[in-house]
Amino acid sequence: MSDEKLPVDVNKLLKNKLKSVSIGELEEKISAVVSELVGEDYKCTIDDVKYTLFSGADFHLKVELSYNPED
């Protein structure tokens, strides 16, 4: 393993692309993946979103079984 340091692209770190992603779309995609994994209809809600300086985000994620009386 090399001790060579890779250059850090500071502009890339500071430009948080997560801010351009719709929270609704994230909820929809997470719901779909969980539903597929579990085999039941689940819904996801995201709140308390705080974007971090270095291209990240902290948020509260809630996944729960969707109640559909027609099933």
pLDDT in tens, 32-67: 999 999 999 999 999 999 998 888 899 999 999 987
Question: Collapsing DSSP states into helix, strand and coil, what is residue 37?
Answer: helix
| The pTM of the whole model exceeds 0.75 | no
How many angstroms separate the CA atoms of 58 and 41, rounded? 25
Q: Which pLDDT does position 26 carry in this prediction?
A: 96
